[in-house]
Amino acid sequence: QFDNQWILGTSGATPARIDDTGTFTDTETGAKIGRWVWLGYGEEGRLVVCPPSPSSACTAALAGLGAGNVNNGTHSYKITFVRSVSDTESIESGGSPASNVVTTTGGDGQVALTAIPTGASGTTSRKIYRTAAGGATYKLLATISDNTTTVYADNLADASLGATVPTGITHDDPS
């Protein structure tokens, strides 16, 4: 039970309140900072903060640059937040709401993403996931290695998409 517990905020000076679900909120801004999760097994683990899933979607539009590599058809996008836990480990949030649907054609096969959400303090990168043409499963498109960039140009063929978007918290442990 976490209710009525307080921790030092991300700035080092602002306290945050932890509710009974383990979610904690910055007391000055009201922003959800994250959720405590246990990493490891038994007593060999530790509590870390997982970033909350993005609450808003990015916006997708045809780039207007002519032919490209994105397969013809309908596509949409999701974003996740990533927080580094150590030099070799990270923890990833679940996906954002889906973006609007954009339809690529042979004459317009590149997509411009804007309004890519940024995470709370401690977010070290964001991942962009996209559906294959006409698909419903979101696959990894790219990683943005900062928490400030809000635009991205998609020019990747469906065959090059990677892992499926997490539906909840995931832990990247190289061991």
Q: Taking Cα atoms as reference points, which of 53, 55, 58, 57 lies closest to residue 151?
A: 58
pLDDT given at position 143: 97
pLDDT given at position 15: 45
Structure-block tokens of residue 170? 């995931």
pLDDT given at position 155: 97
pLDDT given at position 47: 57
pLDDT given at position 52: 78
Q: What is the pLDDT of residues 65-116, one digit of tens each?
A: 889 999 999 999 999 999 887 777 788 888 999 999 999 998 899 999 999 9
pLDDT given at position 72: 96
pLDDT given at position 100: 98
pLDDT given at position 13: 41
How far apart CA 100 and CA 57 sit, in angstroms, is: 8
Strands 59-62 and 46-50: unpaired
Q: Taking Cα atoms as reference points, which of 140, 93, 92, 148 lies closest to residue 116?
A: 148
How far apart CA 135 and CA 73 sit, in angstroms, is: 9
pLDDT given at position 28: 55
Which residues in the chain land under pLDDT 50? 1-18, 20, 36, 38, 40-42, 174-175
